[in-house]
Amino acid sequence: MEKYLRFTDEKSDKYWEIVCKETKSTVFFGRIGSAGRVEEKSFATNEECIKEAEKQIASKIKKGYKETLISNRPIKDAETHLNILEFEENWDVKASPISKKLMNEPFYWSCIEESSPFGSDEGDDTFSFLKEFYQENPGKKTLDFLLNIFNESTEVYPLKDLNCIDEVELKALNIDLYYVIIQDSAIWAAAFGQLVLKGKIDEELKNIAKNALTRQTLNVILDQHGDEERLKHIAKMQEVLNQV
């Protein structure tokens, strides 16, 4: 069972949605366009779960909510909400509303998923350093931060042309492509880190991040580090960058 409700008047526009699965109900609610909040509750039986859901739905309709045919919540599952809360607590940050809306799957916020923005060692380190950079250098560009890191560790970050997406050119560089994978992980961690912390991604950095993600889909890279799940995550991250 899944129901979508929406309330609109001259002062507010908000959604309230409930999902009942077996003996657990999950309620999503918030302003239209926001990540909103989530509440979960367990019951002894599915019948009890459905009965309570119908009671809540009736109450909302009485207050003026109208049923809709499609969902209005940007985040579709409770796991993503939980991952966001854990991320904010672990890093002592408040994620921007737009990042919560666009990064609407659990993997984006994972601290262990290698193909997530912050789950690899490079992603984790980059986000940590970026957070410090913003605190110590208000007003400076995120790309300046990234280039400084790369210039300080050229052995670990050997790629000079960050927009290179040509396989022949990459091979001709005669560098260990393992380090290109590391460098690209740092690039998208910086881009998504800015989205989380600042609610935006600077245009130049966004284009570099798009190319970093594209670079990771080239056969010369996939031969070393490619799997179906990683490619799915890369595609989803590209979708987010196209929406920012």
What confidence tens digit (pLDDT) does each residue in 180-203 have? 999 999 999 999 999 999 999 999
User: What pLDDT score does 226 carry?
Assistant: 66
Percent of the chain with pLDDT over 70: 99
Superfamily, domain 2-67:
WGR domain (2.20.140.10)
The helix-helix angle for 142-152 and 121-136 (nearest 10°) equals 120
Q: What is the pLDDT of residues 18-56, one digit of tens each?
A: 999 899 999 999 888 777 788 889 999 999 999 999 999
- Does the structure show a pLDDT above 70 at 92? yes
Q: What is the pLDDT of residues 130-176, one digit of tens each?
A: 999 999 998 899 999 999 999 999 888 999 999 999 999 988 888 88
Please report, for the chain, the start and end positions of each structural domain, with discontinuous segments joined by +.
Answer: 2-67, 95-243
User: What pLDDT score does 128 carry?
Assistant: 95
- Does the structure show a pLDDT above 90 at 81? no
pLDDT band for 177, please (50, 70, 90 cuts). confident
Q: What is the pLDDT of residues 110-141, one digit of tens each?
A: 988 889 999 999 999 999 999 999 999 988 99
